[in-house]
Amino acid sequence: MAATRRRGGGRGGGRRPTWAEQVPGPGDPLPDQVEQFLDNLRVQRNRPITTVRAYRQDLAKFVAYMRTQPLGDDLCAAVDRERLRRYQIDLAQVLAHARTRARALVALRRFLAYAYDEGWTGEELSRVVVVPRYTVGDPHPVPTETVPRLLAALPTASLRDLRDRALVHLLIATGCRISEACALDRTDVRADGFRVLGKGGKHRTVYMTDGALAAVREYLDRRGPDDSPALFISVARPELDRGRATPGNRLTTDGARRAVTALRRRLAAEGPAVFALIAELRTPHGARHTTATTLLEATDGDVRLVQEVLGHATLETLRVYTEITDKRKRAAYQRLGEYLAEKASAPPEGGGQ
């Protein structure tokens, strides 16, 4: 049992399993059964391309795990209850956040249900996959007054630095979901606005600030011409020869999350004052929270406009953001009251004459 656990990556005393470094990238082939399932999503079920890409990214992790097991060409023939249980243990080391892990396991459950319907597995295994429960906490937007200083502090030394800087600029300027940003092609981005494909296959038009557009252009200029149509591509680390950091591949949402984590480490190394600028940007989705609260403040609470910008289906989704801006307003009025009280208690200028 111990030898099998090591071969499969195992928990390794809290370390990431070895298969996590061998996850196929967007341009790498997946087993035929997985590709057929994705084709079914795209063609028969008419799911948006962003949804299909998300499923592919999540199932690629399972494929990487299964490739550490002794199996032949038939992926599903090697799937059993024990391997599924071990994979879920491993996945908790790779995806620490329950919400992200839940999405990956939902994709696996649907693939296993499809595999059973197609006769690829001898039993219905989807129920072996337990989707973790999670609570949606309050958003943590970057304070509006901090945003310009954060953007100015982002490093620009390398191509990866410029890519990450352009990504953060674009996310904050447009309010795009990270899946929407990763789906963009170079030819999509225009100064007069461009369309993104959101949830439910719905398109909306977004606009960028001059600063965000300049950051994207600087990144593309450094990148130069290549064969990838993607706006954001993964940039290989020297020690990785394949998988998640293959050059020329479209940046995945997982890759974008790692990029934000790396940015946080970079700025933390420069001291507490610099890290404070990015402290609230914990994930790429934090940029979307920042867009929402900043727009609400800039438009004096125009929730209809913010709903259109972010592509929310209902106004109820924005309630948590309006609560945050209300708290900021109350705090500002409290500071104003304290300031006026301080002035009232101070002796009059000119010695009381």
- What secondary structure does DSSP assign to 6-39, as a single string? HHT---GGGPPPGGGGG---TTS---HHHHHHHH
Give the C-alpha separation, 242 to 97, whole Å. Answer: 25
pLDDT confidence of 202, banded at 50, 70, 90? confident
Residue recorded with tokens 């061998």: 22
20-34, 109-123, 241-255: range with lowest mean pLDDT: 241-255
Does the CA dihedral 245-251-256-259 come out positive or negative?
A: positive
**Can you give the length of the chain in residues?**
353
134-148, 252-266, 277-291: range with lowest mean pLDDT: 134-148
Q: Which of 129, 178, 211, 213 is nearest to 289 (CA)?
A: 178
Who wins on pLDDT, 326 or 214? 214
The two structure tokens encoding residue 275: 């890290």
Of 29-38, 140-149, 287-296, where does the model show the most confidence? 29-38
Q: What percent of the residues of the chain are helix, what percent strand, and what percent coil, each to the nearest 5?
A: 60, 5, 35
pLDDT at site 8: 43
Q: What integer is the mean pLDDT of 96-105?
A: 87
Of 4-8, 95-99, 154-158, where does the model show the most confidence? 154-158
Tell me if 20 sits within 8 A of 64, measured CB to CB: yes
pLDDT at site 187: 92
Tell whether the model's pLDDT for residue 344 goes beyond 80: no
Who wins on pLDDT, 233 or 339? 233
Query: How many helices (H) and strands (E) are present in the chain, helices listed first?
Result: 14, 2
Dump strand ranges (E) for the chain. 194-197, 203-206
Which domains does the chain show, CATH number per domain? 2-128 (1.10.150.130), 144-283 (1.10.443.10)
Tell whether the model's pLDDT for residue 70 goes beyond 60: yes
Q: What integer is the mean pLDDT of 290-307?
A: 73
pLDDT at site 329: 52
The mean of the pLDDT values for the chain is: 81
pLDDT tens digit sequence for 105-117: 999 999 999 999 9
Does the CA dihedral 93-98-104-107 come out positive or negative?
A: positive
pLDDT at site 324: 54
For residue 230, what are the β-bridge partners? 185
Q: Left, alpha or beta for 53 (phi > 0: left; psi -120 to 50: alpha)?
A: alpha
Q: What integer is the mean pLDDT of 51-55?
A: 89
Tell whether the model's pLDDT for residue 32 goes beyond 60: yes
Tell whether the model's pLDDT for residue 301 goes beyond 70: no
Q: What integer is the mean pLDDT of 226-237?
A: 84
Instruction: Give 216-224's long-range contacts (Cβ < 8 A, gap of 24+).
Output: 216/166, 216/169, 216/170, 216/189, 218/156, 218/162, 218/166, 219/159, 219/162, 219/163, 219/165, 219/166, 220/186, 222/159, 222/162, 223/159, 223/162, 223/163
Q: What integer is the mean pLDDT of 64-69?
A: 90
Q: For the chain, give the percent of residues with pLDDT over 70.
A: 75
Q: Look up residue 204 and give its DSSP letter.
A: E
pLDDT at site 226: 83
72-76, 90-94, 327-331: range with lowest mean pLDDT: 327-331
Who wins on pLDDT, 322 or 148? 148
Tell me if 142 sits within 8 A of 150, measured CB to CB: yes
> Residue 83: what residue type?
R
pLDDT confidence of 10, banded at 50, 70, 90? very low
pLDDT confidence of 164, banded at 50, 70, 90? very high
